[in-house]
Structure 1
Amino acid sequence: MRGRPSIYDNSEALTKAQQVFWKKGYTATSLPDILQAIGIGAGSFYNAFKGGKKELFSKAIQQRREAFAAFKATLKQAAVPVDLIKDFFRSIAAADQHTHMQGCIIVNTVVEMANLDPELEAEAVTILKEVEAMFTATIADAQKKGMIKNQTDPAILGRYLITLWNGINVTRRMYPDNTILAKQIDMQLEILN
């Protein structure tokens, strides 16, 4: 007789948990919050996630890493990858107010985990550095092909874009206004002309 199916690899459960963590943060998210979100009992939870809340959180933020990997694959297929990066940033301004107030779970994690949990902070930093490397490689290729006039070191421009990402995810909480954000983002993206 088979027992209940494990949720260990269940991306839907991870997505639901991720939404709770994204809304409340790691520290403020309680076990009852998690259990209610993913619809299981404590016994099943600890059977699936031996490392408890920390393991679940780690897996939830790794889902964001997968989303960035999918974006990277799309970049490789794009005729003008830099335009896709610009559109990625511009799409931030088009989000609804709820999304603005959430910011980015990875950026939020770096800030929240500083001096709280070095392992989780390091996981989030690694994801951001991978995104930075993706930006850097895309910019270097665009410079070689003459698609960007700015010949600043691609590593500096890649770091500039990750700084923009980090900053805009705080700024959008300060100014959850699509018009303000669109103007701010467009001004920042002029560096990629």
Structure 2
Amino acid sequence: MTSRRGRPRQFDRDDALRTAVMLFWERGYEATSINDLSEAMGIGVPSLYAAFGSKRELFDEVVAEYTRQYRAFMQTAIAEEPTLTAGVRRLLHEAAAAVTRPGLPRGCLVISAATNTTSPEVEEGLRKLRTDGVEVLESLIRRAVAAGELPPGTDASGLAHYVCATLQGIAQQARDGADRGTLETIAALAMHAWPAPTR
């Protein structure tokens, strides 16, 4: 006797996930309800739970998808440039473009979704994404100092925190309505605090 197959899902899971990304990005974690998600994704609440688990589990998938789709430029900018200085300059300018893309919510989901959340787990997960970014950049700065690109005595921790704070500020300014040109000016000004390369 052959086992009966379960009923196929009546929706495209990838499309539903992309819809959830947009909703959480626009509204944040706390203000997005399961009913909001169900309506926007075009699936019933039971089907949503069956496909994605809890709201928190869905949000974890959303953050992973958002990172893959909309934050990949951050690693690419650093990796593709010949020096860390050039990479950080490109990173800041591309961030100004990324947070003001037409047809997408303004700002950064990783920052905006954490606003006013009452979930310690969500808050901690998003904080870890941000602090991991600081640690990676600090390590790269230390390597640039050791390689002779940046001057000895460069404050790697302070500089990494400064760049990441600038990125967060650019995202929040976009959320508040700043246009791409204004944000690119901020990016250019921020590089004045970057130490002059030694070579």
Report the TM range for the smaller structure's normalisation: 0.7 to 0.9
Contact 1:75/1:81 (CA < 8 Å) preserved in 2?
Answer: yes
1:103 aligns with 2:103: no
Pairs aligned (count): 188
TM-score (norm 1): 0.80
Tell me, which stretches of 5 or more residues in structure 2 are unaligned? none
RMSD, matched Cα: 2.9
Distance 2:53 2:165 in 1: 35
Are residues 122 and 181 of structure 1, via their aligned partners in 2, closer, same or farther at CA, if it must alter by over 3 Å?
A: same
Counterpart position of 1:118 = 120
Distance 1:6 1:120 in 2: 29
Distance 1:185 1:117 in 2: 32
Are residues 71 and 168 of structure 1, via their aligned partners in 2, closer, same or farther at CA, if it must alter by over 3 Å?
A: closer
Deviation string, structure 1 residues 77-135 (Cα, Å, up to 9, x no partner): 64324422321210233334665x6211111133332xx11110000000001111121
Counterpart AA for 2:179: D
Larger Rg: 2
The 5-angstrom pairing of residues 66-77 of structure 1 reads 66=68, 71-72=74-75, 75-76=78-79
Of Structure 1 and Structure 2, the greater helix share is in 1
Distance 1:65 1:189 in 2: 25
Tell me, which stretches of 5 or more residues in structure 1 are unaligned? none
Counterpart position of 2:44 = 41
1:74 deviates by 6.8
- Choose the corresponding residue for 1:29, options 27, 32, 41: 32
Distance 1:107 1:119 in 2: 15
